[in-house]
Chain A
């Protein structure tokens, strides 16, 4: 089975419908500030229970990369990022809109997203099978080493202070230990609450830390803020804008794809990295922030390419790179399918069907986003003080729909308050959520590894793969330490909104 069979799966009427639905919903959640792709995917997770696994994954993936398209609309028209990865698009996109070039900015954002998305899908098709083939050899020591490397990478590339990021990683790993110990059945820190026996669900924590805290952080000014109503004199960019966009789009595709392989908020990091790169390469970097098309083309391409790259660890290793891919993993697990190295061998129709649907989805999205931008503008004209109660209700429904647990609603609210203070203290939530997801797997791999060798800790160096990964993780940790001690703490950057 390969691309040919994959297109047969993706082009079935049923899967075309779900791909379209996912793309539309993803664009809408990307447009609405405060509702990230995680909320959209979580909300629709129960609706996928009756679907075929391939269809479920196609729809949920559509929401994920669709949100990257939609996030640029509010950034350009409102100077409010609809999705955290579109924060940097506000800098030049909004300035272009103020100069009457909103249409051009939106077109280039959509076009760059299309190119970046498609190139990253090609990357998945080439890289994922090879990585999966290699990962079949992985046992518990190798899996543990991969996850340690992932956590170290989160600390190194994360935004803000290295020390704060690592604290969030360790805290997330610790929170992941709450619940029943899978090996001994011992209940850890549950305090008699039976719902906690399964652990703290990452969905309520993520919805709270990203979605609820975003709303709690709104001020009265934000609530009554109205959207600008620019005139779209020209929807298409002029020749010069098109010419200047090709370089950033090409660079953003490559940069975004490889950054997307990294765990954590890679789609956000990729947009910032692309902006920084374009500014560095520009002849007149001082013009950035005043309406440069490169400041829109590069980041928007990069975040879509990163969304594709993020699928690789999830599909080929079974390690989600972020909350959204973790929910997609849950969707597959509910259908009795375990993502990982054997996914391509045992369920090729799911893997290749998803890859091919992403090509189709990217095509749908550029068709939706360019001519239908007027419809999305109308959505943005709804005042935020009217929208945010609906967003809160969506969050409640999204969390309750997964396990029908009021305890998880309380966890979500508590996480929202914690997330509010985390934003104030400049702590990033993404590392905590990722560690919460990976923590249980990491602990299990660690304990299984020790049991394999009768408690001998050298089990990790008996495997060359694990040794290399752990040495790499150590070097990254060392690099983080050097960076922290000698180069000072990193400047403040915006934290993720979902």
Chain B
């Protein structure tokens, strides 16, 4: 099972999900198609295309030079995702300024590899600069959170 086959398998599963979901919706009639008509049609097409891809991806494929490892730096990816998820989780309750400082500090320290105090200084500077630019200068509405600003 090569990576291309896995990709088409995922699409097959998605199309099956689409088929099941949309068949449960009202399909209507041809003179007045219902809510499920278009998604069902698309699911059938996606099923066909991904099925074709799944079958054909069994052909031998030339490996290009300098092809990087499939997952690359997985550790870094996980750290960035976790950091961003934490920022999103507390975005509205903590507020933009607080989360901005926290988020940047965490990334500078945990992912970029800066020393803690350097990361904290960058985080505070970046967070405050971002707050000033987006909230005060550009007038973008951001949650005030615990600091109320």
Contact = CB atoms under 8 A, between A and B. Distances in A.
Interface of A: 43-44, 46-47, 50, 163-164, 166-167, 170-171, 173-174, 177, 181, 183-184, 186, 188-189, 212, 215-220, 223-224, 385-386, 388-390, 392-394, 396-397, 400-401, 404, 406, 409-410, 413, 416-417, 420, 424-427, 443, 446-447, 450-451, 454-457, 492
Contacts of B18: 174
Given A389-B112, A389-B126, A177 B26 contact: no
Contact of B126 (A393, A446, A450, A492): A393
A47 B38 contact: no
Contacts of B6: 425
Given A425-B7, A450-B33, A47 B77 contact: no
B42 A218 contact: no
Contact of A447 (B38, B45, B92): B38
Interface in B9-47: 11, 14, 18, 21-22, 25-26, 29-39, 42-43, 45-46
A283 B30 CA distance: 59
Q: Which 6 A-B pairs have the closest CB atoms?
A: A455-B31, A455-B30, A389-B107, A186-B35, A385-B112, A181-B35
Given A401-B140, A424-B72, 13 more contacts: A46-B139, A174-B42, A186-B35, A189-B39, A219-B76, A388-B107, A392-B80, A393-B103, A397-B96, A397-B130, A413-B85, A424-B70, A425-B6
Q: Per DSSP, are chain B's interface residues mostly helix, strand or loop, or mixed?
A: helix
A473 B19 CA distance: 25
Nearest to B42: A174
Contacts of A443: 38
Contacts of B49: 163, 166-167, 170
A389 B139 contact: no
B77 A216 contact: yes
Interface residues on B, range: 35 or more
B30 A392 contact: no
Query: Chain A interface mostly helix, strand, loop or mixed?
Result: helix
Contact of A386 (B22, B36, B46, B112): B112
Contacts of B7: 164, 425, 427
A495 B100 CA distance: 30
B30 A393 contact: no
Given A167-B50, A397-B134, A410-B88, A220 B107 contact: no
Contact of A425 (B3, B111, B113): B3
Contact of B53 (A163, A397, A420): A163
Contact of B104 (A224, A390, A424): A390
Contacts of B39: 174, 177, 188-189
Contacts of A50: 139
A173 B42 contact: yes
B146 interface: no
Contact of A220 (B34, B35, B73, B138): B73
A419 to B, nearest CB: 12
14 contacts: A47-B139, A163-B53, A186-B25, A212-B84, A215-B80, A216-B80, A220-B73, A389-B112, A392-B107, A406-B91, A425-B3, A447-B32, A455-B29, A455-B31
Given A163-B52, A170-B49, A216-B80, A400 B35 contact: no
Name, among A174, A456, A457, the residue most crowded by chain B CB atoms within 10 Å (CB to CB).
A174
Contacts of B8: 167
Contact of B103 (A177, A215, A389, A492): A389
Contacts of B122: 386
Nearest to A221: B73
Given A386-B112, A410-B88, A171 B11 contact: yes
Contact of B43 (A174, A416, A425): A174
A170 B33 contact: no
Contacts of A164: 7, 53
Interface in B109-149: 111-114, 122, 126, 130, 134, 138-142
Nearest to A166: B49
B1 interface: no
Given A188-B39, A389-B107, A409-B91, A167 B53 contact: yes
Nearest to B14: A171
A44 B104 contact: no
A170 B46 contact: yes
A226 to B, nearest CB: 14
B126 A390 contact: yes
Contacts of A409: 88, 91
Contacts of B29: 455
A40 to B, nearest CB: 12
Nearest to B34: A184
A239 to B, nearest CB: 38
B78 to A, nearest CB: 10
Nearest to A167: B49
Contact of B73 (A219, A400, A426, A456): A219
Contacts of B92: 406
